[in-house]
Structure 1
Amino acid sequence: MFKKRHTRIGARPGTLVISKESPRPVVRGIFYNRQSYDERPVEDLDQLQEAFQAETVAWVDVQGFGDRSVMNKVGEVFHLHPLLLEDVVNVPQRPKTELYGDQLLIVVRMVRLKDSDEASRYRVDMEQVSIVLAENYVITFQERYGDILDPVRKRLKSGKGIIRGRGADYLAYVIADTIVDGYYPVLEAVGNDLEAMEDEVIRNPSPDVLGELNTLKNQLINLRRAIWPQREAINSLVRGDFALVDEDVRVYLRDTHDHCIQTSEVAEMYREMATGLMNTYLSSVANRTNEVMKVLTIMASLFIPLTFMAGIYGMNFEHMPELHYRYSYPMLWAVMTLTSIAMLYFFWRKGWIGRG
C-alpha cells in the first residue's frame, strides 16, 4: 500500500518533503546528437547548462532525493516551477501530465520484481519516475538508485536506430515506453505464479496458500491503480495541445497508450483469476471440512444404537431376565455387530460412504 508523504498543514506551496531513507542525489548527464555521444557524472550543477549546445539533446538523470540543497539547486539551474519540483519530490504522485510554462512534467510509475527469495517471492517494487521535458533536454527524477532504463542508454550509446537523430520529445517517449513495457515481465511472473498455484489450491488448500494468494491479489490491485491513471497520462500526451511534443512522436505515443490498455486488462484479468482461486480455496476448505464432519457424523451415528443397548444392560436393576440368560453376552455382541453392519450398508446404499 502506498503512503504519500504530506507537507505540513499550512506550509507554503512548493515545500519539499524528503524521506530520511532517500539516498544522496547522484546526477549524470548524457549529451548527444546524430554524430556524438557524451556521458559523464555531473559534480558541479552550475556548469551543467554550459554543456548544452544548440544541436545537442541532453538527458539529465537524478537518482536520490536525500539532499534538499541539491534538489533546490537542480530546480534553480533548470528554472523548475516550485510546484513541479514539489510533485517530483513528494512521492508517490498519481501518474499525470502537467504543463509548467515551457516545461512538461510527466509522472509515471516504474515496476520491478524484487529478488525471488522466500520472503519476497511475490513482492513487486514500485517507484515513481518523473520526466521533465523541455525543448532540448529531458530530466528524469527517481527516489532510489537503479532503474530499468539501461536499454535506452545502450541505444543512445550505440547510435542504433533513430533515437540519436530525434529531439528531446522522442527521448521522453522512449523513456516512458520502456517504463510501460516493464510491466509485461512483472505481469508474466505474477501470471505464472497464479497458474502454478491452481493445482495447489485444490490439492493442498493450506493457510500459506491463502496468504500467497492474498498477497498476489493486493499486488495486482496496486499494479492496476498505477496503470489506470498512467493510461490517462499517456493519452493526454497523444491528444493534448503540447507544443513540446511533435505530431510524429504522438504516433509512437499511441502505441505506448495501447500497451497501457493491454497491461491494464491483463492486470484486471489476473486479479479476477486470483479472486477465483481464493473462492476455490474457500470451497476446497469447506469441502474438506464437510468430509471430516461426514466421517464424524457416521461414527457418531454408528454408536448411537450401540450406546443405547449398552446403556440398558448397564443399569443396576435387579430384575432383568436377560442378565441371567447364559447366552446374553454373546447375543448382545451379535445384535450390536449386526446393527452396525446394517447401518453401514444403509450408509453405503445412500452413497454416503465408499463411493468417491
Structure 2
Amino acid sequence: MRPDRYLKQFIFPEHDTHRTAEIFIVNPTVAPMRQEADRSRLYVYDYDANTIDHKELADTGSCYIYKHNNRTTWLNIDGIRKQDVEEISRQYGIHNLLVEDILSIGQRPKVDEIEGIMYCLLNMLYFNEEECAVEQEQVSIVLGENFVITFQEDEHRDVFNPVREKLKLHTSKIRQRSADYLCYALLDMIVDQYFVVMEKLGEKIETLEEDIIRHGNTSSFGKINDLRKELIVLKRNVSPVRDLVNGFIKSETELIDDNTTKYFKDVYDHIVQANDFVENYRDMMTNLHDLYISKVNLRMNEVMKVLAIVTCLLAPATVIGGIFGMNFDVIPYAHQVWGFYATVILMLVIPLVMLIIFKRRGWFN
C-alpha cells in the first residue's frame, strides 16, 4: 500500500458514495424499468353516510361492481403489477397515458386531468432511523365520479391508517362527503407525513450541531454530507407538491365541489410551510458546514499558537547554546568554573520571564 493512501485511511476515512448514486440515478431520457410486485392486494371501502363495506377483493374482476352503485368507493391497490393496473384502468375508464404514469418510476410529482379523470402522482416519505435516510414510495391517486383509486408500491406500509379509522365512524366528515373530500384526506395524510420526516431530520441536525461544537472531527464532516443528501431527496419530493395541490385548487372540473376547494387550500398552506422548513434546513446545513470549517481552523490556530510559543521559549536557549558552542579560542566566561551554571540559569530564567510577559498580554486566553 502506498504511504499516502495508508495515511488517508486514518486521517480522512473513506466516504460511502452509494447514496449519492441512488439520488442521482434518474435519467429522464431513459425509460426506467419497474420490477413487478409478486402479488397485488386489493382493498375496497364502499360507503355512504349510513353504511360501509370494507373487505379485500380476490381479483381485479371484482372491482367493476362498485363503479355504478351510487356510493363512494375507495379502491386501494398494494403492489404494482402491469396486468392488474391495466385491467382496473379499463374498467374505470382511465386513459392509457395515465396508466403509463402509474407504471412508471422516478416521476416528478404532478397532477393531470384527462377525460373526466383527475390523476395525481407523488411520493410518500418515511425516515429510516437505522440508515438515517429518507425513503420514498410512489403513490398514484385517481379521482373519478364517486370513486378514488390509489396505487401503492409497498403493501407493508403507508400513511393512510388515520383515514381508514375515520371511515369506520359514521359521524366523520369523510363519510358525509363525496369522493373529492376523500382525495383531499389522502393528500393531507401524505403532506402531514412530510412534517414527521422533517422533524426526524431536524433532530439529526440538532444532534450533529452539538457534536460539531463538542468534537468536530472528520466523522462530523461525513455526517454533514450525508444529511445534505437527504435534504436533496426531501426537497425533490416536497417542492413540486405545491404545484400539484395548486392544480386541484385551480381545476374547473366538476369532480371537485366548491366546498371542498377550501380544504385543498389548507393542504396548500401546509405544503408551502413544508417548503419553507426545507429551505431553513438547507440554510442550517450550510451554517453547520461553515461551523465545522471554523472549528477546524480554530483547532489549527490553537496548535500553531502552542508551537509558536514553544519555539519562542526555546529560542533564547538555542541562541545561548550556539554562542558558547562556537569554535573561537577566546570566549568570555567559557573557562570559568561557574560559566556552565550561569549559562544554564540564563536558559531557564529568560523563558520564564517570557512566559510571564505572554501571560500578562493574554496570549493564553
- Contact 1:5–1:91 (8 Å) recurs in 2: no
Aligned residue identity for 1:218 = K
Aligned residue identity for 1:198 = E
- Contact 2:46–2:53 (8 Å) recurs in 1: yes
- Contact 1:5–1:90 (8 Å) recurs in 2: no
Q: In the TM superposition, what whole-angstrom CA distance separates every residue of 1:264-317 from its partner, at most 9, and x where no partner exists?
A: 112211221222122112111211111011101111222223222223333455
- Contact 2:42–2:59 (8 Å) recurs in 1: no
SS of 1:182 mapped into structure 2:
helix
1:45 aligned residue: 60
- Contact 1:30–1:38 (8 Å) recurs in 2: yes
Of 283-292 and 195-204, more deviation after overlay is shown by 195-204
1:19 to 35, 38, 60: 35
1:56 to 51, 64, 71: 71
1:311 to 310, 314, 322: 322
- Contact 1:2–1:92 (8 Å) recurs in 2: no
Q: In the TM superposition, what whole-angstrom CA distance separates every residue of 1:98-145 from its partner, at most 9, and x where no partner exists?
A: 01112111122211222x33xx2x322222221011112111112222
Superposition map of 1:71-86 within 5 A? 71-86=85-100
Instruction: Report the RMSD for the aligned CA atoms in angstroms.
Output: 2.2
1:168 matched to 2:156? The reply is no
1:129 matched to 2:139? The reply is yes
SS of 2:164 mapped into structure 1:
helix
Q: Residue 317 and residue 64 in structure 1: after superposition, are their counterparts in 2 closer, same or farther (change >3 A)?
A: farther
Of 129-138 and 303-312, more deviation after overlay is shown by 303-312
Residue 6 of structure 1 deviates from its aligned partner by 5.7
- Contact 2:116–2:253 (8 Å) recurs in 1: no
Superposition map of 1:292-331 within 5 A? 292-331=303-342
Aligned residue identity for 1:56 = R
1:4 aligned residue: 26
1:225 matched to 2:241? The reply is no
In the alignment, the residues of structure 1 paired with residue 139 and residue 133 of structure 2 have an alpha-carbon distance, to the nearest angstrom, of 19
1:94 aligned residue: 108
1:36 matched to 2:51? The reply is yes
- Contact 2:63–2:88 (8 Å) recurs in 1: no
Which blocks of at least 5 consecutive residues in structure 1 are unaligned?
A: 10-15
1:241 aligned residue: 252
Of 67-76 and 330-339, more deviation after overlay is shown by 67-76
Aligned residue identity for 1:103 = I
Q: How many residues align?
A: 342
Q: Residue 148 and residue 91 in structure 1: after superposition, are their counterparts in 2 closer, same or farther (change >3 A)?
A: same
Give me the TM-score of the superposition, normalised by structure 2.
0.86
Q: Residue 305 and residue 338 in structure 1: after superposition, are their counterparts in 2 closer, same or farther (change >3 A)?
A: same
1:148 aligned residue: 159
SS of 2:240 mapped into structure 1:
helix
2:11 aligned residue: none
State percent identity of aligned pairs.
33
